[in-house]
Amino acid sequence: PERPPASHGAPRQRFLPANRAPPAGFDAPALRAALGSLEGNAVVVRHGKLVAVQGDPGEPRPVNSVSKTFTSIVFAVLLGQGKLRLGDVVPGSAHPGPPPATYRQFLNMTSDYGLIPHAPGTRFAYHNPAVQHYGSQMARQYFGGQPPDAIIEQVLWSLLGREDKFWFEGEWSGAGGGFRASARDLARIGLLFLREGRWRDRKLIPAWYVRELYKCQIPKGALYNAWESGKRKLEYSLILKDNYSYGWWNNAGRQFPELPTELIYAWGANGNNIIVIPRYDLVVAKVAEIRGRPEPNVQQVVLPILKSLKERREAP
């Protein structure tokens, strides 16, 4: 059930409405067809303008593991404020025993938090309890134990604004659905990262940190920690090895051969994404609740949209 947003003070800053926006270099019928093939709600932002929508762009839905990206953004903002560093140790992370793990290791899924063998930085696993732990520690240390949606209002929406209802149920990892957000508000996050952490005249996240997101941050030679079981977790973990940075997925390992290498995305179960492609000054955001059948991967979502770009068609 819907409930009021955690904060009533976030400004309502609107994108240019889609029906007034220029086509921004797209073949309009091809773009409509690309979006029409998607299930759920989606928006396309190019050159900072909302140029196309599918479904209801203002409907909040559970974004599931896109919540992991929200959690990493809290760290990134604290980093920009000089309050945290990648090498800082996360309190309570020596579990089930020493040594403790750093924020870098929690962000890149190599913390081994609660796992055996426990050797942070040497093994990787897509592990929800680890995200819940470091998110909770940041909340306790820097925000007085406020709930996650209130923290996001403070560190993100107070600057970016938002147009739609936003709330949280579950865990920082996205278990239980995590954050509830609309496609067009997710697109604001994509635009913040497309602009290397800058929103208008404000610098929120260090540019060097954003650039690191396009590289795989899991150490070479790291092994899969098979203690974290389950078919879905195994699938995610094996993709992690070459295509994960700090709370964002990327294409550094060329898992999507038809897409640019310079690409980052947030990925949540049931068809939720934020996709950032600097080459085309493009953001695609999507929320859905696809259940009982395979959801499209990022290449399947974004390639038809890229093919509708006139400049891409005309490139030699």
CATH number for 228: 3.40.710.10
Nearest to 312 by CA among 3, 16, 30: 30
Contact 290, 39 (CB under 8 A): yes
17-21, 221-225, 229-233, 308-312: least confidently modelled range: 17-21
Tell me, yes or no, whether 12 lies in a domain: no
Question: Average pLDDT for residues 106-130, to the nearest whole number?
Answer: 95
In a domain, 129, yes or no: yes
Token pair recorded at residue 222 = 């790291």
Residue 236 in any domain: the answer is: yes
Confidence check: pLDDT of 3 > 50: no
What is the rounded average pLDDT of the residues 146-151?
97
Considering the domain boundaries, does residue 278 fall inside one?
Answer: yes
CB of 218 within 8 A of CB of 109?
A: yes
Record the pTM: 0.92
* Residue 306 confidence (pLDDT) above 80: yes
Is the residue at 7 inside a domain?
no
Q: Tell me, yes or no, whether 298 lies in a domain.
A: yes
Q: What pLDDT digit, counting tens, does each position of 170-218 carry?
A: 999 988 889 999 999 999 999 999 999 999 999 999 999 999 999 999 9
Q: Provide the residue range defining the domain that includes 281.
A: 18-314
DSSP symbol at 90: P
Structural domain total, the chain: 1
179 part of a folded domain: yes
Q: Does any domain span residue 59?
A: yes
- 162, two tokens: 């938002």
Exposure on the CB side of residue 64, measured as CA atoms within 13 A: 13
Average pLDDT over residues 241-245: 95
Residue 43's SS3 state is strand
